[in-house]
């Protein structure tokens, strides 16, 4: 992968589950794992109604250099956006694609 294509700075975040107070539901906090260069490409979008509210969903492909610590339960922080990782695709040539969704 050519370095010139990696023009976006993203932060990979992993969930840290904390037990809830007084035996309640677990709380999820997000911990930064790494900040890396990436190519972020929007590839699809749609609008729909759920719970009587208009929702939108944008799907992105995030291309990064291969890493051994990226999992599908992580998320990507990209500026003011947060993308949830749906799939991690490792490719030959030292790169990987993260198939992500941005929910609004």
DSSP string across 42-81: EEEEEEEEETTEEEEEEEEEEEEE--SS--TT-EEEETTE
The domains of the chain are located at: 3-103
Do the beta carbons of residue 73 and residue 86 sit within 8 Å?
no
Among 15-19, 61-65, 67-71, name the one with the lowest average pLDDT.
Answer: 15-19
Q: Does domain 3-103 have CATH number 3.40.630.10?
A: no
Q: Is residue 47 scored above 90 in pLDDT?
A: no
Find tokens 């993203």 and name the residue: 10
Q: For residue 47, give Cα distances in angstroms to 50, 58, 83.
A: 10, 9, 17
- As a residue count, the chain comes to 104
pLDDT in tens, 17-43: 877 676 666 778 999 999 999 999 999
Model's pTM, two decimal places?
0.79
């Amino acid at each position: 992968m050519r370095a010139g294509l990696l023009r976006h700075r993203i932060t990979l975040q992993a969930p840290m589950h904390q037990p809830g107070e007084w035996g309640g539901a677990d709380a999820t906090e997000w911990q930064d794992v790494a900040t890396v260069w990436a190519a972020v490409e929007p590839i699809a979008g749609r609008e729909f109604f759920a719970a009587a509210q208009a929702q939108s969903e944008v799907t992105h492909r995030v291309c990064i250099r291969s890493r051994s610590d990226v999992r599908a339960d992580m998320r990507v922080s990209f500026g003011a956006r947060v993308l949830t990782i749906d799939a991690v695709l490792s490719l030959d040539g030292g790169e990987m694609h993260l198939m992500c969704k941005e929910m609004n």
